[in-house]
Structure 1
């Protein structure tokens, strides 16, 4: 089916509405007043309805025109997006990239850089995948990611510091350990420990264990969301990232004071697993994440 109207005609109508007059729209579009009037009259003929009427010597849109504009504006925006995506594709920009994020990383640390990324790369989708332990390493060594947030640097792969996560042992208010001013290792052993498993999909013998794991009983879960629910239910104790704990208000859980050292810190780093083969969009996202990490107000400040 052949279209009667063009995007240029709808853009003209949109500009008239935004400028409040044909003269203002003519200046915005760098066209003559006469040219715009001709374009609008032709559009009226093609649609078979009045779009512009004169009120107190001003040209205003009719109710029908405004109703059509609600559909025309998204259409024009989609056309602009299409052109922007085409330019990016011509420059070799990826249509999709993968960001792998170690499970210790706060999700909130990704939001602002991602928001800026999508403003600049409207044609690139981002796959975000959570990893842990061996899965974090495999995402880099097997080039499963374009950008990776990892813990320790990985052999033969360069990285930049991103954030530091403090791991805090916590229990529910109702847990027996919550009533003690300090807890010994011997006392921990007799209580259930909640552990987040290695998300690697390879040989189980290659999965990694990290930290203190001497409790006689364990509940092993897939992620810290499940761990948090288990802690709140009073099932056992768990070392949780400090950024997951409620700030500045009473919580359902309390931190434990362990004799001999309870909390510890884990560094997070940024890495480009594909090295020199990394695409334009992936490098841009990497730069935006790094820029945020260097802001004085960044919650996970590395230094």
Structure 2
């Protein structure tokens, strides 16, 4: 397919519209007034449509010109994206990076630096994969992710401190445990517990207190919160999730000898020296964000 027009012609029309006159656009583009008039006249002949008209001694877009220019903006933006992508590929930037985030992590800890990264990089796509227990470890060991937010450091994979998550026992105010002033572990043992499933495909792992006689197993903390709020059982939840909901219908239990525990989170690069520049850039932003937070 052969096109009648060029991107340069549309860029000229865009600049005339932005500057408000041919003379101002010519100055901005460092071209002569005559050159721009010739370019627009040629574009009008090629399209068979009048694009500019004179009003109060100024060149302004016709209605047809405005309609075409609205569509041209999208075309020009796509052309710019192609050039940006080519430049990034030339520098070896990845077209996509994968981030594994352990389900204990506050998602804001990831998305805040990611927003800063995307403001500087409009070509690299990002996959975010939620992990837990064995899947968190597996994604690192198999190098399935470019960046991973993990709990404990994994053998032969250097890591940096990323944060600390407090785990608190929570029930609905309507749950029988809520009526006990200082429930003990025996009370928990006799109550239904809501726990998180290991999202891995291989050898499953367990963590934390799992001695309750009956359990409800769910995929993530969103389900766990809803089940707990429904009064189906008690659950250990990250403090940042409890704070986010700030629900007066939920109660943090003061369990004897087991009130709270903390889980450290770390940041690691599963591919090590093979990590691409885009992933490294986001990794550094995430570390900088953690330094401000910790």
What TM-score comes out, normalization by structure 2 length? 0.96
Aligned residue number for residue 74 of structure 2: 74
Alpha-carbon shift at residue 131 of structure 1 (Å): 0.6
Bigger Cα displacement from structure 2, 109-118 vs 122-131: 109-118
Q: Which runs of 5+ in 2 are unaligned?
A: none
Aligned residue number for residue 96 of structure 1: 96
Alpha-carbon shift at residue 238 of structure 1 (Å): 0.3
* 1:212 pairs with one of 188, 200, 209: 209
Aligned residue number for residue 176 of structure 1: 176
Alignment pair present for 1:120 and 2:117: no
How many residues align structurally?
294
Alpha-carbon shift at residue 101 of structure 1 (Å): 0.5
Aligned residue number for residue 285 of structure 2: 288
Task: Please give the alpha-carbon distance, in whole angstroms, between the structure 2 residues aligned to 1:262 and 1:249.
Answer: 19
Aligned residue number for residue 252 of structure 1: 249
Task: Please give the alpha-carbon distance, in whole angstroms, between the structure 2 residues aligned to 1:141 and 1:116.
Answer: 28
Q: How does 1:258-269 map to 2 (within 5 A)?
A: 258-269=255-266
Task: Please give the alpha-carbon distance, in whole angstroms, between the structure 1 residues aligned to 2:243 and 2:277.
Answer: 38
- Output one character per residue of 1:112-154: Cα deviation in whole Å (capped at 9) or x when no partner: 2222222322221111111111111111111111110001111
Alpha-carbon shift at residue 220 of structure 1 (Å): 1.1
SS in 2 for 1:174: coil
Alpha-carbon shift at residue 230 of structure 1 (Å): 0.8
Alpha-carbon shift at residue 71 of structure 1 (Å): 0.5
Bigger Cα displacement from structure 2, 132-141 vs 116-125: 116-125
Computed over aligned residues only, the root mean square deviation of the Cα atoms, in angstroms, reads 1.4
- Output one character per residue of 1:198-241: Cα deviation in whole Å (capped at 9) or x when no partner: 11101xxx322111111111111111111111101100000111
Aligned residue number for residue 86 of structure 2: 86
Task: Please give the alpha-carbon distance, in whole angstroms, between the structure 2 residues aligned to 1:154 and 1:19.
Answer: 58
* 1:242 pairs with one of 236, 239, 261: 239
Aligned residue number for residue 147 of structure 1: 147
Alpha-carbon shift at residue 261 of structure 1 (Å): 2.9
Alignment pair present for 1:226 and 2:223: yes
Task: Please give the alpha-carbon distance, in whole angstroms, between the structure 1 residues aligned to 2:143 and 2:287.
Answer: 20
SS in 2 for 1:129: strand
Task: Please give the alpha-carbon distance, in whole angstroms, between the structure 1 residues aligned to 2:36 and 2:111.
Answer: 43
Alpha-carbon shift at residue 158 of structure 1 (Å): 0.8
Alpha-carbon shift at residue 90 of structure 1 (Å): 1.4
Aligned residue number for residue 33 of structure 1: 33
SS in 1 for 2:13: helix
Q: Which runs of 5+ in 1 are unaligned?
A: 296-300
**CA 112–20 in structure 1, closer or farther in 2 if over 3 Å, else same:** farther
**CA 101–254 in structure 1, closer or farther in 2 if over 3 Å, else same:** same
Alpha-carbon shift at residue 249 of structure 1 (Å): 4.7
Bigger Cα displacement from structure 2, 98-107 vs 260-269: 260-269
